Structure 1
Amino acid sequence: MEIRLPFRFNSPTFQVFLVGFVCFCCPGMYNALTGMGGAGRADTTAADNSATALAVTFTICSLVGAPLFNIFGHRVLIPCAGLTYVLYVGAFLSPSSAFTVVAGAILGIGAGCLWTAQGAIMMSYPSESEKGKAFSIFWMVFNLGASVGAAVALGNEWSVGEANQVQPTTYYAFIVIMTVGACCGVILLPASKVIRNDGSRVSLHKYSNWKREALEVLKLFADWRMLILIPLMISSNWFYTYQQQGYNGGGYFNIRARALNNLLYWLMQIIGAGAFGWLLDLTAIGNRKRRAYIGNTIVLVALLALWIGCIFIQKRFTRASVDPDLNPDFVMMDVYSDGFGPLALEYALFGMADSIYQGFIYWLMGTMTNDTERSARYVGFYKTIQNAGNAIASQIDAQRTEFNIQLIIVFVLNMVGLVLAYVVCYTVPDVTVEEIDNLKDGGKEVIVGGQVETIEDGGGMPVDHGKLETDH
């Protein structure tokens, strides 16, 4: 008797879901914890320095992550990378600030590898008509993890009221969940065994080598589309520092209010990703170029409205006004305080805006290629630029820069990046055509819309597509 699963294990959709589950357990829990501001540490300088160390190594290892993905594969990278999240959370149980910073640096290495592999899978596995759907599935599962983690934290912190520290039991719960997620990475299939619904294989590549990868990564810095997207990419995580360390974790809210804000933030990520990914695949509103313009405009208008609203909210407090040494009469805002609702709503909408911002970047890069190797390099470039910005933002915060100045900086960066992105939207083709090399037989293939049209062997002779799929 044959046991039939209600899903196809080797489908792109299910593989994207599995990657989402790994991120549910690892980055999702990490986001839930850091979303309360400095991971709840009293020593915010150590938290800032750890975040900077993380961002610096994340920046470097994102470029290295693409070669590692193309050489060793994601079934090695993802489990090892997931365990670095376990180490990082464990470091917050230690009184040593130095250990926390070192753990942040190690996490940056793992995160660079994990997110490069994730992005390559999410961008290249689905067909062109389902790339928005793939983002939605991944981002919703991933942020469901952050939401569950935030709910766990909220449950643990609710009774502590005015306290300003995360309880040890919160860390213990996250360590267990992260360990499970890291181990799940080993059941992912190799790209060569993943088959789309139309029968086409996701990848026929052989493993790459360091020389080839170094040359291909350098070529990214000559791609004008990637260069013009740098402002959009560099500000894509910049706002996390202000939102998490300033708005939510700057001292205006107590730990219970911060935990509730955090939960709402990640829940709205799920809603935003689901709606926006569906919209980007909706052919009823036009071809891909038109959908690129529409997506860009939605993100721009949403961010513009939220940042303008935040300027008025930020007038309520400064670093000095929430400092108990300088202002001993200040009382932190609690969930029961008057006026908490609108501030919580603003923070929740930050989460929705983040999901559509990230989704638009991934989808836009996905229109440039359907190849797994190139997707890994594009995502590696994106993550490199993104985390360079995150490192700068963390150090700006570590220098005790006023919250309103941080707000204006990220506001301007977001607007510049989104306006420049219209130039790249103009180049979006309705169907992506590209030539792919590094095949297992040493030949080349022309891919039109993710479908193999012609294949040449190493001697330049056409090869029967059906035979190649059977052989490989």
Structure 2
Amino acid sequence: MDNRLMNVILLGSAFMVLFTAFQATGMISQSVLEGVKNDTTHGNRFHGSGYTSMAILYSCFALTNIFAPAIVSIFRPAVAMFLGGTTYFLYVLSFIYPMTWSYYIVSVLIGIGAAILWTAQGVYLANNSNDSTISRNSGIFWALFQVSLLAGNIYVYIALKTEMIDSATRIPLFIVFSIVSAIGLVLFVFIIWRSYVEKNRDTLIHTVEERRNTLVDIVQTLKIAVRLLKTRNMLLLLLPFAYSGFSTTFFQGVYGTCIGHYVKYGDTRKRLIGLHGILVGCGEILGGGLFGFITKPKTSSQRALMILVGFILQIIYYYSVFVNFPSNAPSQETIAKPYFDYSSKTSQVIAFISSFIVGLGDSSLNTQLMNVLATRYKQCTASAFAIFKLVQSLMAAVAFFYAGSLQLEWQLLIVVIFLFFGTLAFFKVLFDESENEFTATSVTVTLQDNEHDSYQNYSSSIA
């Protein structure tokens, strides 16, 4: 097997194992912490909120994205991914015996680590791809990554059998998740080892002079990001970036909480959050293979078709949520009636078909976003992915801040507006046949600054 393909498979496998614990934790965190507050072993000592934690996480994620490319440049992608992954392990570990102060501290740490992890992932994926393999590799990574939704949520579905999640259920659940996270870190160590072997084989040992240039590269990395934000296409891409943040918050955080809060679904409704995660994962995996690996879209028209299919699927999902859940479901246990008052069984069927549909639609957007960033911004991948994650995480933070207080229909209105305009903006970028505006601008600025060859040095520093 080709070494680069093996690297992509190993990358996806490491993310799959690490996020098996984290993705399931994120979906049930609000319900778990509601159980902690009512647990007699904690009394009134715990006052944390899953929504608030996620808002803190994504706020720190957004701020750290400014410096993430520089950190990746210093440590190299493989080591940076391990450092970022360690914070995920600490976050999951904190749920065994949650304390308000420690819970919010690890929320800050994982926000910092996530920015480093995902920026390094984008660089590592681009370094192991070219124009002809990026669609395939993006699809492989996305499918493997989303398997994490299956494994973690299957365990949640099996483990949560009561209306309230008490310590007897929570502690074994998160001990297992902590062990799984540690295994994910071991896989990142293996990636570090492979990177070291490949660099030795290709005689890419860093010299003293290259290390001396690292400080210059850090400054240059930030300048590249600023220059990117002055280009028309990157400004247009900010809209789908923002939608990605709002949608991730909704279907991975708010929607699962709505299911767990809907009293109509019975005493075992908390475990249904796990079933929601399983079906989202099935949709994401199928979509990653369909929109990336099988169809292998290469032209603008092919990619636009994938985006259009995803747009339609996600509109269907948001409409089904609007008619199927009460307005106050995101914030509290509720017996209120939704827009259409279906029977419990019919409502659940609609809810879980929708879970699969949103996973399928979400994968179409994310695979095409990764394709565009990795192909159109090949010489400045770290900066491009950092901007993506900056905007995505900032909007996710905003969404989590209002998730517990804003009624369901208003949350849906916000996300649908960004879906519509984000799709239009993406189409505009895909069919823009003009010369790469960033290259022309950056070369001019670089000559004016009279600095070293920014792109060559930057590319070699993160390769």
Q: Alpha-carbon deviation of 1:444?
A: 9.0
Q: Which amino acid aligns with 1:357?
A: L
What residue in structure 2 maps to residue 389 of structure 1? Answer: 395
Question: Paired residue for 2:124, among 95, 99, 121?
Answer: 121
Q: Is the 8 A contact 2:240 2:419 kept in 1?
A: yes
Find the aligned partners of 1:107 and 1:59 in 2 and give their Cα distance: 12
What residue in structure 2 maps to residue 311 of structure 1? Answer: 322
Q: Is the 8 A contact 2:300 2:430 kept in 1?
A: yes
Change (3 A) 1:297 1:338: closer
What residue in structure 1 maps to residue 304 of structure 2? Answer: 293
Find the aligned partners of 1:117 and 1:60 in 2 and give their Cα distance: 16
Change (3 A) 1:194 1:404: farther
What residue in structure 1 maps to residue 280 of structure 2? Answer: 265
Is it true that 1:345 corresponds to 2:353 in the alignment?
yes
Q: Is the 8 A contact 1:265 1:352 kept in 2?
A: yes
Question: Paired residue for 1:136, among 118, 136, 139?
Answer: 139
Q: Which amino acid aligns with 2:394?
A: A
What TM-score does the superposition give when structure 2 sets the normalisation length? 0.80
Find the aligned partners of 2:103 and 2:26 in 1 and give their Cα distance: 13
Q: Is the 8 A contact 2:279 2:356 kept in 1?
A: yes
Find the aligned partners of 1:41 and 1:445 in 2 and give their Cα distance: 47
Q: Alpha-carbon deviation of 1:211?
A: 2.2
Pairwise CA RMSD: 3.7
Q: Is the 8 A contact 1:116 1:380 kept in 2?
A: yes
Q: Which amino acid aligns with 1:264?
A: L
Q: Is the 8 A contact 2:225 2:383 kept in 1?
A: yes
Find the aligned partners of 1:73 and 1:273 in 2 and give their Cα distance: 27
Q: Alpha-carbon deviation of 1:385?
A: 0.4
Moved more, 374-383 or 181-190: 181-190
Is it true that 1:274 corresponds to 2:274 in the alignment?
no
Find the aligned partners of 2:76 and 2:403 in 1 and give their Cα distance: 37
Is it true that 1:52 corresponds to 2:55 in the alignment?
yes
* Higher helix residue share: 2
Structure 2 residues without counterparts, runs of 5 or longer: 38-46, 447-451
Aligned length: 418
Structure 1 residues without counterparts, runs of 5 or longer: 1-6, 447-456, 458-467
Q: Is the 8 A contact 2:291 2:364 kept in 1?
A: yes
Could you report, residue by residue, the CA deviation over 1:251-306 in whole angstroms, capped at 9, with x for unpaired residues?
A: 11511211111111112211111101035524xxxx62222322232222222232
What TM-score does the superposition give when structure 1 sets the normalisation length? 0.79
SS in 2 for 1:272: helix
Change (3 A) 1:65 1:433: closer
Find the aligned partners of 1:445 and 1:66 in 2 and give their Cα distance: 13
Runs of 4+ residues over 4 Å off in structure 1: 203-207, 320-324, 326-330, 335-338, 428-438, 442-446
Q: Is the 8 A contact 1:53 1:102 kept in 2?
A: no
Find the aligned partners of 1:120 and 1:329 in 2 and give their Cα distance: 48
Q: Which amino acid aligns with 1:388?
A: L
Find the aligned partners of 2:20 and 2:14 in 1 and give their Cα distance: 9
Q: Alpha-carbon deviation of 1:429?
A: 8.1
What residue in structure 1 maps to residue 449 of structure 2? Answer: none
Q: Alpha-carbon deviation of 1:68?
A: 1.3
Is it true that 1:77 corresponds to 2:80 in the alignment?
yes
Could you report, residue by residue, the CA deviation over 1:154-184 in whole angstroms, capped at 9, with x for unpaired residues?
A: 2212xx2433456221111111111121132
